[in-house]
Amino acid sequence: MACRCYDSGYTRFKDSPAKLASWLSSTALEITGGTLPTNDILPALPQSSVALGTTSPQTGYSYPYYATVNGSKVTVKISINVGSVPEKAVKYTSADCGTGGRTLECTFATP
């Protein structure tokens, strides 16, 4: 897994600890929870059911999750954008993620 927070193109935190709790059926990926690095965009992972298509690779979307299932490999991406921020207002800590225009992006993948 990897989580990053972007502000005007600069990475605020990279590959910070994160966990995604989920289970997979033939038609959906159920997100049951998990943890993220501290940020102001998404303080906790919401529960969600991501309906999957029937052709391989199976894909689906349920805000804020994008899921792809290709055989036994499952990839879930979270990407949330908030506003925009001028270059001079760049912040320097992970806690700044999500206030005044940032992007939180996390990707979780099975081996």
Q: What is the pLDDT of residues 75-92, one digit of tens each?
A: 998 877 766 544 444 445
Answer whether 111's CB lies under 8 Å from 29's CB. no
Q: What is the pLDDT of residue 3?
A: 63
Each residue's pLDDT tens digit, 35-69? 887 776 777 888 999 999 999 999 999 988 999 99
Q: What is the pLDDT of residue 57?
A: 96
Answer whether 66's CB lies under 8 Å from 43's CB. no
pTM for this prediction: 0.72
Average pLDDT, the chain: 76
Q: What is the pLDDT of residue 58?
A: 96
Q: How many domains does the chain contain in total?
A: 1
List the beta bridge partners of residue 3. Answer: 106
Give the model's confidence band at 32: pLDDT under 50 very low, under 70 low, under 90 confident, else very high: very high
Range of the domain at 88: 2-109
Q: 73 or 14: whose pLDDT is higher?
A: 73
Q: What is the pLDDT of residue 105?
A: 76
